[in-house]
Structure 1
Amino acid sequence: MAAKENADGTKRELTKRHVQMIALGGTIGTGLFLGASNSIMKTGPSILLVYLILGVIFFLMMRGIGEMMYHDPDKHTFISFIKKYLGPQIGYFAGWTYWLGIIFVAMAELTAVSKYVQFWFPTWHTWTIQLCVLAVLVAINLIAVGLFGEAEFWFAMIKITAIVVMIVVGLAMVFMNFKTPIGHASFGNITNHFSMFPNGFGSFVAAFPMVFFAFQGMEFIGITTSETQNPRKVLPKVINEIIYRVLIFYIGAILVIMAIYPWNSLDPTQSPFVQVFELAGLKAAAAVINFVVLTAAASALNSYMYSAGRHFYQLALDSPNSKFMQGFRKISRTGVPARGILFSAALVLIGPILNSLPQISNAFTFITSVSSDLYIIVYLLTMLAHRKYRESRDFDPNGFLMPGYKFTSPLVIGFFTAIYVSLFITGENVLPAIGGLVWTVGFIGILTLVGKKKKAAMNPTDID
């Protein structure tokens, strides 16, 4: 059966299995495969609590986004609701902020992809790898949204397979009381001499921003709705399954890692998956996990290209008076915002150039950190827009409602605020957090001044 075509030319080619895997692909990334060792070492067993709390908060945020998307599944991005319910200026700020955030994170992912490829081909030039990888992923995005969904399905399948295998192997080692060079695999490695905050409560608090950014990307579900077949049937099922995925793929994996490898014996510079598989006797563990993290980074980059194209298309629609943006308000014959994707990809290619210059590399790292911090602000605005939706005539009491709204909505907003405040506690996050505030205040300030000038020009008054 042919995919339904929307009024603007985009096509509903994404199926339930595509959206499910996009949700997983957006949530499970290199933060788990590479960064978990560092988080576990800093926090100890309480890292499980950090993942559980953040998993619940992100699930509730997705229920808020899902409620608005269920009401209006034709929206190309969840950012559209910020504009609708918080005003055009705030919406414009959120749109540009989120798109720029995507571009900078995509730059970082492209840099990571080249490093993973050089694990096997150290003589290959970085720029050659990055150009080829980006060209392939852009082509996937340009051909059809269904091809993008299929690529994400298989990228995510590789990641899920690696986690499931690790959990199964780990549990087998535990139940067999498997002897390793550092002891025995046992849940006693977690409970013996248990300390909830072995490195102090401050380290526990500092773990929240680290793990928060590991969940970043879950909101991509809210970008696929307008191109999903039967979204009002698919969306609730996919969002409701998020909490189970978090429990199995994050908490399950970390629980098994700490059962095999005493948490205070992990090497924070090495992937915990590599360390576990090496203890199990897999000599090629480093190569296998490098392949997995390569696909994880490629999956993230693929999703960022998809998201960037849709958001830039939406920005073009929201800029009717801009001659520059006029050409980006068109959908290609294949049903995708091709010009928005190509323009975004061209900007992503600037990242490797900046990263290769020693004078600018630190600035690039800083900007990437700022863009990640800005996601928190966009999430906050999204939840505030959800509150306005609840108060509006659009509210559908029979829709896909956020559970316990009166309690959960302020909980999520308060938690995101607390996460941003916590960035000022840890030294390495202070400058990017300040940068995020400067960007926010400066952008909205400029928009306000421009708005006042336009209003004054339209309604001139006599000056005595």
Structure 2
Amino acid sequence: MSEKEHVQSYEKENLKRGLSSRHISMIAIGGSIGTGLFYGSSWAINMGGPAVLLTYLFVGIAIYFIMRALGEMAVEEPVSGSYISYSNRYIHRFVGFLTGWNALIFLIATSAAELNALGRYVQFWFPNIPIWVSALIVVLILFIINMIGVSFYGEAEYWFSLVKVVAIILMIIFGAFMIFFGIGNGGNPVGLGNLVNHGGFFSTGVSGFILSIVMVAFAFGGVENLGLAAGEAKDVKKTMPKAVNSVFWRILIFYVGAIFILVTIYPWNTVGSSGSPFVEIFTKMNIPAAASIMNFVVITAVLSAVNSSIFTNTRSFYSLSLAKNAPCFLSKVNKKNIPSNAVVLVFVSMLVGVIMNYFIPDSVFSLFASVTVFGLISAWSAILISHLKFRKIKIKNNEVDKLTYKMPFYPYGNYFGLFFMAVVIVCMGILPEMRMSLIVSAVWVALVFVAYKFYTKNAAEEDTNEGELNKVDYGA
């Protein structure tokens, strides 16, 4: 097969294109703005001090190049497998196998952690309800939503995401009033002093600034899910570029804006010391039931993240099956063009998370929170490397001018993004609490490689046997 044929021969899918630009934008936002911002931001601020603002900008630039690389490929080859499909096609089949099956272990990990967090938020109102009960109810509801139809899923995700987006915008607005006009602070403007008054802007030193990149990077995790919606997007050449551009700027503004408000209103070393800093701001504004409102917002954020996870992982397994890197029954679609068997697999995987929350509810979140790290780095790196090969083929075939949504600063943007990945991995090796995830990831890769060799060997034998059988039938 020539390189030109190679770039044009992507899998033929049988999915319904029922997602509008409005849906797609919120899918990416829903997957990337969650508990990491509402509660995890305190860790990043305490690690990097006020200079964490620069960290968010630095990571934002890397994310921009990742998203543009993904957007270019998604517009030209709109498949639901996204970076999994591109990895299989442009890097190596094992990379596609690895990034795809990463979905299973990290689906269990992230859903267990998110469902654990959700159960704890529910206990804020109903302390006698066990965590696993809340988790099971949510999984059942979201399973039904995802089986009804892709447009229904998109609508649910839109409204889930909208709640937290509105909450962040209000927090930024109220915080700005407090900083510059003193509203909520007795009429005394807070000013910008907290950015430099407590040890300086780089209050934790250069090392703290650099190490904070780990948590900041993970806060952006989920933006890559935008590509997984390409296979079901309406008018992909218009909706995908619009979604990529809008999602990047919205997320960057939300994160940088929210963190700026937090480190300006509070001394950086006190942020989150008395609970969620977001709740503290709404409380200062004398908003009734501020804690309950934010608890509802965070529960909605978790619902959005889990809902997005069901959709994206379903499409991951579907794509793996089409590429013959997973059992063929996972590519079966029902009358509504939903890969129903893949949805069931995701549902069963999430039930594992529910069971773990039944047996070890106090350990689940910390046990799995760091395990998702490797999947994120793998996905982002795969996008950048796949795009390098994708564009190289386009250049060789003199097809670059036909690209309708080009990634800027190629290939330097790719190299910058890969440099960013290397920095994250080095920082993870330095941080004691992150070191274990690297060891677990190495073991996981070894296990997947063994499974890959076994699976591809058996698949090759089946193809050979099928070919021999066809020859016999033809001769008869």
2:116 pairs with 1:114: no
Mapped to 1, the partners of 2:272 and 2:76 lie a distance apart of 47
Q: Which residue of 2 aligns with 1:31?
A: 36
Whichever residue aligns with residue 333 of structure 1, its letter is K
Shift of 1:451: 5.8
> What is the distance in 1 between the residues matched to 2:346 and 2:461?
35
Residue aligning to 2:420? 415
CA–CA distance in 2 between the matches of 1:300 and 1:422? 26
Q: Could you tell me which residue of structure 1 aligns to residue 298 of structure 2?
A: 293
Per the alignment, residue 430 of structure 2 pairs with: 425
**2:135 maps to amino acid:** Q
Matched, 1:188 2:162: no
Q: For 1:164 and 1:456, locate their aligned partners in 2 and report how far apart those are by CA, in whole Å.
A: 57
Query: Residue type matched to 1:384 in 2?
Result: I
Give the drift of 1:49.
Answer: 0.7
Alignment match, 2:232: 227
In 1, the alpha carbon distance for the partners of 2:133 and 2:59 equals 38
CA distance in 2, matches of 1:267, 1:180: 18
After superposition, the C-alpha distances for 1:396-416 in whole angstroms (9 at most, x for unaligned) are: 433211110121111111211
The structural deviation recorded for 1:181 is: 8.4
Deviation at 1:187, TM superposition (A): 2.1
User: Is 1:271 the equivalent of 2:273?
Assistant: no
Matching residue of 1:3: none
Q: Which residue of 2 aligns with 1:341?
A: 343
- The alignment partner of 1:118 has SS state of helix
Aligned residue runs from structure 1 range 50-449, under 5 A: 50-178=55-183, 180=185, 184-192=189-197, 195-268=200-273, 270-319=275-324, 325-358=327-360, 362=363, 365-393=366-394, 396-399=400-403, 400-444=405-449, 447-448=452-453
Q: Which amino acid aligns with 2:227?
A: G
Task: Give the match's secondary structure for 2:81.
Answer: coil
| Amino acid of the structure 2 residue aligned with 1:350 | V
Question: Is the contact between residue 171 and residue 256 of structure 1 (CA under 8 Å) also seen in structure 2?
Answer: yes
What is the DSSP-based 3-state SS (H/G/I as helix, E as strand, rest coil) of the residue aligned with 2:371?
Answer: helix
Tell me which amino acid in the other structure corresponds to 2:341: R
Deviation at 1:278, TM superposition (A): 1.6
Match of 1:18 in 2: 23
CA distance in 1, matches of 2:276, 2:232: 36
Range moving further from structure 2, 396-405 or 176-185: 176-185
Q: 1:322-377, CA deviations, whole angstroms, 9 ceiling, x for partnerless residues?
A: 7xx2322211111211111112111111123224434x975884455223223202
Q: Give the C-alpha shift of residue 274 in structure 1.
A: 0.7
Tell me how far apart the structure 2 counterparts of residues 452 and 339 of structure 1 sit (CA, whole Å).
24
- 1:80 partner SS: helix
Partner of 1:462: none
Distance (Å, rounded) in 1 between the aligned partners of 2:265 and 2:272: 13
Calculate percent identity across the aligned residue pairs. Answer: 34
Q: Report the CA distance shift for 1:94/1:311 in structure 2 as closer, same or farther (over 3 A).
A: same
Q: Which amino acid aligns with 1:341?
A: V
**Distance in 2 (alpha carbons) for counterparts of 1:135 and 1:224:** 22
8 Å contact kept, 2:108–2:352: no
Kindly tell me the number of residue pairs found equivalent between the two proteins: 450
Q: CA deviation at 1:243?
A: 3.6
Larger displacement relative to structure 2 (186-195 or 43-52): 186-195
For the 8 Å contact 1:59–1:242, the answer to whether it is kept is no
In structure 1, how many angstroms separate the alpha carbons of the residues matched to 2:373 and 2:401? 34
C-alpha separation between the residues in 1 aligned to 2:170 and 2:439? 42
Alpha-carbon distance between aligned partners in 1 of 2:348 and 2:266, rounded to the nearest angstrom: 43
* Distance (Å, rounded) in 1 between the aligned partners of 2:324 and 2:20: 31
Deviations 1:7-44 (A, max 9, x none): 64311111111111112212211111111123212221
Q: Quote the RMSD (CA, aligned, Å).
A: 2.7
TM-score under structure 2 length normalisation: 0.87
**Contact persistence 1:103–1:304 (CA under 8 A):** no
Distance 2:460 2:33 in 1: 47
- Whether the 8 Å CA contact 2:110–2:368 is kept in 1: the answer is no
Q: What does the per-residue CA deviation read over 1:53-72, in whole Å, with 9 as the maximum and x for residues that have no partner?
A: 11111111011111111111
Counterpart-to-counterpart distance in 2, 1:109 and 1:153: 19
Letter in 1 for 2:126: F
Structure 2: 5+ residue stretches without partners = 1-10, 465-476
SS at match of 1:137: helix
| CA–CA distance in structure 2, aligned partners of residues 411 and 117 of structure 1 | 42
**Using a 3 Å threshold, how does the CA distance of structure 1 residues 189 and 23 change in structure 2: closer, same or farther?**
same
Residues 368 and 30 of structure 1: CA distance in aligned 2, closer, same or farther (over 3 Å): closer
- The letter for the 2-side match of 1:375 is L
* Separation (CA, whole Å) in 2 of partners of 1:83 and 1:342: 24
Give the letter aligned to residue 99 of structure 2: A
Distance 1:457 1:78 in 2: 27
2: CA distance between counterparts of 1:123 and 1:187? 43
* Post-superposition offset of 1:190: 1.8
The 1:243–1:224 alpha-carbon spacing in structure 2 relative to 1, beyond 3 Å, is closer
Q: Per the alignment, do residues 431 and 310 of structure 1 end up closer, same or farther by CA in structure 2, a change over 3 Å counting?
A: same
Alignment TM-score, normalising by the size of structure 1: 0.89
Cα gap change, 1:457 to 1:99, in 2 (>3 Å): closer
- What residue is the counterpart of 2:473 in the other structure? none
- CA distance in 2 between partners of 1:392 and 1:275 (Å): 53
CA shift for structure 1 position 450: 6.8
> Could you give the per-residue CA deviations for residues 109-168 of structure 1, whole angstroms, max 9, x where no partner exists?
122212111211112233322221111111111101001110111111101111111111
Moved more, 211-220 or 120-129: 120-129
